[in-house]
Structures are given as structure tokens and as C-alpha cells.
């Protein structure tokens, strides 16, 4: 099938509209829904969909958005509990004793700690917590925020309980074997990115003897842990890798004979993460337990296909991702929340009124996040069902050929710079990446890996994410300086991802 040039231009119009509105400082939530409305009008007037078929597309988008929100919203609540209980402050106090030199302090506070925090809650929260710790220890505010943005970006795809990964998988409509391939391929690329990120962070400060090998070792430990975990359960990737990184810091950062912080408070502070990791490992990795959990009926409604213009059609199919009640991250996050409240209350870290405060803060953040995510998934579903993504994909494939492999990661980075979120970038462009891959006879998982890995790097250049860190670290109004500091490092990271993608394409052919 082929599309005339005017149809390709109309197909690209909703995303271009979204781009222009965001660049003009319009909120992502509003622009996502406006773009979705424009996409629906174009789908009905130029791409042959009737009102019922648009409703089918919107329903698919709502399902995907709801599935993702069942991860994101409890993860944000867990972050509120950690913050209000003082657990994060206990982690910061321990950091003072663990890292005796400037270089090692950067590794801990700008690389490992924000990556660990990203495992539970993203959307700028890791930068808001980590950058002020560096400022309190004498680092310039803009430099501290910039270092944290470079240090943590590799962990975003499998952070927030894997929400960005699951968004990529869902909007690209990958089969289960393809999804497993994506998890492995993305894990490998991001493990390499982790090692490079740690080394780049180390260059931001004075280095002492032994700092370089420590950076490579800690990055390697987190990267290998990430690969091992995401092949079993992507939702635990960054959380477990971050825990492994903190453990590596415990043993590798102090000098010979230097004291280490007491372990009791650290264990209490990290107890929700430990509970989350243990519970999910039991549920997902132990075959007898998983077999029992799989007996709970899955929810997988089937929706009709659509017949669009220009010969494009989709068949009736189940919605994606399929909801498996006890094999979804939600129950494990609820376990972590329960452990956090019980343990912190017994420790005296949860005074009266904390619950109300945590819920209030969570609701404020949840409203913005929920509306923007659902708006973007609805937009992506309309574009996909109408064949608008396929039209743009075919045009790109015919124009760039295999050269698109070099564009894949920068496109993902552009989506994050635009929206401030790898999850949102994946909602916008994962289906396009998969369609281009099919047109080029490349494995879809490879280009979707480029999309999400590039989306991660975009966090280091995103004004929205930088503003969160700048506000918390005392650098408000200096976002431009922060982003300029990261241009060179982001270019190195993008080049690393592009080389890794080219190698994957070569090995797969």
C-alpha cells in the first residue's frame, strides 16, 4: 500500500502540532489532548475512519494508558511515603560517610543514588532529591543538576517500575516474543550506557587515585544486574540495578580502613525496595509460584479492527498489554507501600498526619501525570489505527533506508526533550519505530530499543526535567546553562547507542 504526499503530510500534522505547542510553553497535558482531537478529525476526514472506528482507537489508547497508570500512580505514592518519612534523608546522611573524595561523591550522588530512586518514581523526582545533596556538599547548583541528569538517564526506561518500557512495548504492539527481545536488547544497550554515564559523571569533578576503576566497576555491576533482571521482570530492572549499585558503593567507595555508616537505618530506609524486589522475585522467577499466579484469569478484551483509506486495515485483536492481575507490577508496589508504612511507623518515622500529607502531595502530582499519559496514549492509538503512523513510516523508510537506524535514537531523544518524559516519547514514536523496522526488514525490537534508549538521553537535555532539578537545587532560571553543560556528554551517549544499534542490526542480518 502507498500514501500520496498530502496524506503523509496530514499524518505528521498532529505530532508537529504537539511539537509547536510544547515549544511555545503550552502544558503537555493540554497539547496531548488537542493533538489527539486533531488526529481524530484527520482520521475521519482523510483516512477513512468512521466515528465507531475512532471510538475503537480511543478505547485502545485508554486501555494502554490505564495499564501504565496502574504502575506510575502507586510508584509516585511510594515516593511520597519515602520522602515524608525521612527515609531519603537517611540515605543522604549515609552518603556523607561512604564517599570520602569528590569523585566518589559524584559517583554516589549523581550516578548511583538517582538511578536507584528512578526505580520507584521518575518524572524528575530523582534529580530533585540528589542534586541538592551535591549542592550542600559544595558543588555549584547548575553543575550539580547537570551531573545528575547525565548520571541517571540510563535508568529511566526500566525505572518507575518499567513504565517507559511497557509503554514502548504496548504502543509498538509487540508480540510476547518480540517484547522479550526488546527487554534483552534494551537491557544490553542501557547497560553499556550505564558504564559510559558513570565515567562521564566522574569527569565533572576532581578525581583521586582509583576513582576511574571504581566508576567502571560500579557501572558494570549495575549494567549486568539490569540485563539479568529485565529478562525475567522488566518492572524491577532499575530498582534492582540501583540496589546492586548501592551495595557496590558500600564496598568500593570508602578508603581502606574508613568507617562505614551504620546499617540499621539504611536497611529500614531501603525496606520497601527490598520487599518489592523479594516479592517480585518470588512471584516472577520461581516457577511453582508463578504457575499458581498464572491461574488467576487474565483480562484481555478483544476489539474490532478498522478499515482505513489507502488500503490500510487492522484485524480484530486483544488490547495490549494484557492485564494479568498477579503478574502486573501493581500488587508488588502495594506490598512495598504496606511494608513502608508499617516499618516506618514502628521506627517512629511516620508521625500523625503523615498519611494525609502524603496523599495530598500524591494527588497533586497524580492528576497531571495521569491526564498527560492518557492523552498521549490516545493520540498514539488514533495515529496507529488510522494508518497515519504507517504512512509516515513508509515515507521515512523509503527516504532514509537503513540510514534510519542512525535516526532512531535521536528521534527518541527529541520526543523526551519535547515532552519531558521517556514514557511520553515512547507513546509518541514507538509505533513509528516498529513500522519503519518492518518496512526495512529490521527486527522491530532493535529500533524500539533505539527509541527508548534515545528517549533516556533526552532527559539530560529536557527543559522540563532540568527545571525540576533547578528549582530544588537553587538554580531556577539557569536551565539553559544546565542543558549546555550536557550537550557534549549527550552526544557521546547518543553515539554509543547508535553504534550499539548498528551492531545489533548487523548481527541480526
Task: Write out the three cell numbers for 261.
Answer: 555508616
Nearest CA to 426 out of 462, 503, 385, 373 is that of 373
Report the number of distinct structural domains present in the chain: 1
CA gap 359, 366 in Å, rounded: 10
How confident is the model at residue 262, as a pLDDT? Answer: 65
Q: What is the CA radius of gyration of the chain?
A: 22
Q: What is the DSSP letter of 173?
A: T
The domain of 227 spans: 5-508
Kindly state the helix (H) or strand (E) to which residue 131 belongs, with its residue range: helix 125-136
Cell 499458581 sits at which residue?
292
Q: Where are the beta strands (DSSP E) in 239-395?
A: 302-303, 317-318
Q: Measuring CA to CA, how many Å separate 56 from each of 10, 301, 317, 333, 492?
A: 21, 12, 11, 31, 42
Q: What angle do CA 403, 404, 406 make, to 5 degrees?
A: 75
Mean pLDDT, 10 residues at a time, the chain of 509 residues: 88 86 74 92 95 94 84 78 82 72 88 82 69 80 92 90 86 90 96 96 85 93 95 87 89 76 75 81 80 89 91 84 83 89 92 87 81 83 87 87 92 81 84 91 95 94 74 72 90 97 92
Q: What angle do CA 70, 74, 80 make, to 5 degrees?
A: 155
How confident is the model at residue 190, as a pLDDT? Answer: 97
Could you tell me if 389 and 432 are in contact, meaning their C-beta atoms sit under 8 angstroms apart? yes
CA gap 260, 50 in Å, rounded: 66
- This prediction has a pTM of 0.78
Amino acid at each position: 500500500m502507498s500514501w500520496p504526499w498530502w496524506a503523509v503530510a496530514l499524518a505528521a500534522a498532529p505530532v508537529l502540532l504537539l511539537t509547536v505547542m510544547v515549544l511555545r510553553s503550552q502544558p503537555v497535558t493540554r497539547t496531548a489532548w488537542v493533538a489527539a482531537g486533531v488526529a481524530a478529525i484527520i482520521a475521519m476526514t482523510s483516512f477513512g475512519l468512521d466515528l465507531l472506528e475512532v471510538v475503537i482507537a480511543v478505547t485502545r489508547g485508554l486501555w494502554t494508558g490505564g495499564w501504565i497508570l496502574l504502575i506510575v500512580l502507586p510508584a509516585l505514592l511510594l515516593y511520597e511515603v519515602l520522602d515524608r518519612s525521612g527515609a531519603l534523608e537517611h540515605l543522604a546522611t549515609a552518603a556523607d560517610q561512604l564517599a570520602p573524595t569528590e569523585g566518589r561523591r559524584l559517583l554516589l550522588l549523581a550516578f548511583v543514588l538517582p538511578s536507584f530512586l528512578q526505580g520507584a518514581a521518575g518524572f524528575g523526582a530523582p534529580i530533585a532529591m540528589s542534586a541538592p545533596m551535591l549542592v550542600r556538599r559544595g558543588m555549584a547548583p547548575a553543575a550539580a543538576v547537570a551531573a545528575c541528569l547525565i548520571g541517571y538517564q540510563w535508568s529511566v526506561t526500566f525505572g518507575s517500575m518499567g513504565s517507559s518500557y511497557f509503554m514502548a512495548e504496548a504502543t509498538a504492539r509487540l508480540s510476547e516474543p518480540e517484547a522479550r527481545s526488546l527487554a534483552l536488547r534494551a537491557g544490553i544497550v542501557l547497560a553499556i550506557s550505564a558504564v559510559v554515564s558513570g565515567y562521564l559523571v566522574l569527569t565533572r569533578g576532581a578525581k583521586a587515585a582509583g576513582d576511574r576503576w571504581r566508576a567502571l566497576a560500579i557501572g558494570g555491576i549495575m549494567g549486568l544486574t539490569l540485563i539479568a533482571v529485565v529478562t525475567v521482570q522488566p518492572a524491577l530492572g532499575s530498582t534492582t540495578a540501583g540496589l546492586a549499585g548501592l551495595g557496590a558503593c558500600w564496598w568500593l567507595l570508602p578508603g581502606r580502613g574508613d568507617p562505614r555508616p551504620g546499617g540499621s537505618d539504611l536497611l529500614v530506609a531501603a525496606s520497601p525496595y527490598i520487599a518489592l524486589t523479594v516479592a517480585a522475585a518470588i512471584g516472577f522467577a520461581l516457577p511453582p509460584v508463578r504457575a499458581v499466579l498464572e491461574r488467576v484469569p487474565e483480562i484481555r478484551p478483544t476489539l474490532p479492527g478498522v478499515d482505513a483509506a489507502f488500503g490500510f486495515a487492522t484485524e480484530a485483536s486483544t488490547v495490549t498489554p494484557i492485564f494479568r492481575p498477579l503478574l502486573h507490577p501493581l500488587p508488588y508496589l502495594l506490598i512495598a507501600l504496606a511494608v513502608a508504612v508499617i516499618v516506618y511507623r514502628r521506627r517512629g518515622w511516620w508521625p500523625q498526619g503523615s498519611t494525609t500529607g502524603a496523599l495530598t502531595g500524591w494527588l497533586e502530582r497524580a492528576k497531571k501525570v495521569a491526564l498527560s499519559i492518557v492523552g498521549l496514549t490516545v493520540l498514539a492509538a488514533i495515529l496507529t489505527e488510522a494508518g497515519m503512523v504507517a504512512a509516515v513510516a513508509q515515507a521515512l523508510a523509503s527516504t532514509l533506508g537503513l540510514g534510519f537506524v542512525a535516526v532512531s535514537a535521536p528521534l527518541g531523544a527529541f520526543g523526551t526533550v519535547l515532552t519531558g518524559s521517556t514514557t511520553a516519547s515512547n507513546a509518541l514514536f514507538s509505533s513509528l519505530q516498529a513500522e519503519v523496522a518492518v518496512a526495512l526488514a529490521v527486527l522491530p525490537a532493535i529500533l524500539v530499543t533505539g527509541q527508548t534508549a534515545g528517549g533516556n538521553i533526552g532527559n539530560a537535555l529536557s527543559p522540563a526535567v532540568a527545571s525540576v532539578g533547578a528549582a530544588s537545587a537553587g538554580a531556577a532560571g539557569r536551565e539553559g546553562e544546565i542543558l549546555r553543560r550536557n550537550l557534549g556528554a549527550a552526544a557521546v551517549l547518543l553515539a554509543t547507542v547508535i553504534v550499539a544499534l548498528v551492531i545489533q542490526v548487523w548481527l541480526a542480518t
